[in-house]
Amino acid sequence: MGERRAGARRSVAEPKALAGRPALRLVRGGPVTVRARAAAARTDLRLLIGAVLFLTMLGLVMVLSAGSVSAAQGYDGNSFWYFQRQIVYAVVGLAAMVLIWRMPYRAWRRLCLPLLLVSGVAMVIAVAHPSRTCLYGACRWIDLGPVTLQPSEFAKLALVAFAATVLSRKWRLIGDAGHLLIPLVPVTVVVVILVLLQQDLGTAVILSGSVFLLAFVAGARAKHLVVGGIVGLAGVAALIFGTAYRRIRFFEAWLDPGADPKGDGYQLIQSLVAIGSGGWFGTGLGTSRAKWDFLPNAHSDFIFAVIAEELGMAGAIGVLLGFALLLFAGIRIALHADDLFGRLLAGGIVAWIGLQTVINLGAVTGLLPITGVPLPFLSFGGTALVATLAGVGVLASVARASAGPTRGRRAPGSPS
């Protein structure tokens, strides 16, 4: 009898404000018992952590392999330089993941705005302050002596949490364009502009794309999403065709790399050569030829090409399966979350990691233009690794709440 009552409390009637308007099942809840939902959440949590640990450990191994040559050349013969730093970042990131995992995920309603403000100020410093560090024309980093900080990585988590907070509070009014736009769109535009001032189009696409997907998941009207999508695509097109180096990347480095194989098309061609050289089972761990100054950024943005070369198609498929398992677990965590905010928060983090993965893999394989976006968990980069693992900690916190004690929990799908 008690279990039937608990199951009844878990079902939710459709809000009157949304009656007659289609919305995704993701934000609706359903007549699922607390016990079944908790068991599913525990399974999801195990899948998530298993996939993240696999990708992070593989990333450490591949940073050692792919970065050994360039590290030895640039850091007084120390071929372990990138690997040593990445281990430190991984430890910090895993510690942050566990700490955030133990936090109530609803705390991000209060934390998102301070984190967004701090990230915004830090991005201004990265653009204008003498402590900034620029590379390949992009000024995304702040030099802090022994380490460099990339504030836009933390802005991803902050903006996702902010968007989830706004959309969950306005869910019953989301069909109204004014409530959908304010304050979500102005805040997103400001953050994206700060990122674009750093010459980082890839991160800007990830930020705006994550917010767009969150609005879709929350059940925004199709006409509003279509208009927003058209405006976003027009903005990206203007940024590409309005800047000389982006036009070159688009037309020569991506659409026709063979037109300038030793210039603008060189990196993509070398990436494809590395991928094709691996065959089914690879040339062997540590035996990559691409990392011997043939493939630029072999240890960072193009590390997937070295994976495919050394571990072959089997290794590349293993990486793809690892990401697929992570995203599958993340989607299930969102589905089984206790309330609407948890569902949107988890969904936004899945959108962020998924978009970044697709953009990186698309660039490495020539399916998308090169944008300088690292591959989550695998590419060398301290701030990116720590921020992504922190995002995984938020996902784990949502799953932990669903898997924990059920007495007094809110019904799934409730806006608060």
Residues 22 and 274: their CA atoms lie apart, in Å, by 47
Helix orientation angle between 303-335 and 266-277, rounded to the nearest 10 degrees: 80
DSSP state letters, 296-324 = TTTTTTTHHHHHHHHHHHHHHHHHHHHHH
Cβ atoms of residues 143 and 133 within 8 Å: yes
Q: Which residue has the tokens 């590419």?
A: 379
Burial class of residue 367 in the structure, from the number of CB atoms within 10 Å of its CB (0-12 exposed, 13-18 middle, 19+ buried):
exposed
Q: What is the pLDDT of residue 25?
A: 44
Q: Which residues pair with 149 in a beta bridge?
A: 142
Domain boundaries, the chain: 27-403
What is d(CA 53, CA 55) in angstroms, rounded to the nearest whole number? 6
pLDDT at 301: 92
pLDDT for position 74:
84
Q: Which residue has the tokens 């990206």?
A: 236
The string of pLDDT tens digits covering residues 124-144 is: 998 887 777 777 667 888 888
Task: For residue range 51-104, list pLDDT tens digits in order.
Answer: 999 999 999 999 999 999 999 998 888 999 999 999 999 999 999 999 999 999
CB crowding 334-358: b at 16 or more within 10 Å, else e? bbbbbbbbbbbbbbbbbbbbbbbbb
Q: How far is CA 21 from the centre of its chain?
A: 30
Nearest partner of 394 among 326, 346, 361, 338, judged by Cα: 346
Give the separation between CA 408 and CA 103, rounded to whole angstroms. Answer: 18
Q: Is 183 helix (H, G, I), strand (E, B) or coil?
A: coil
Global pTM reads 0.88
- Among candidates 20, 66, 111, 37, which has minimal Cα distance to 379? 66
Candidates 355, 106, 393; CA nearest to 210 is: 355
**H-state helical runs in 242-379:** 244-248, 266-277, 303-335, 340-365
Q: Residues with Cβ < 8 Å from 89, sequence gap 6 or more?
A: 381, 382, 385, 386
Positions of the chain with pLDDT under 70: 1-32, 136-137, 405-416
pLDDT at 405 (0 to 100)? 61
**Please, where are the H alpha helices in 103-142?**
108-128
- 18-34, pLDDT tens digit by residue? 444 444 444 444 446 77
pLDDT in the model for residue 264 = 81
What pLDDT was estimated at residue 32? 60
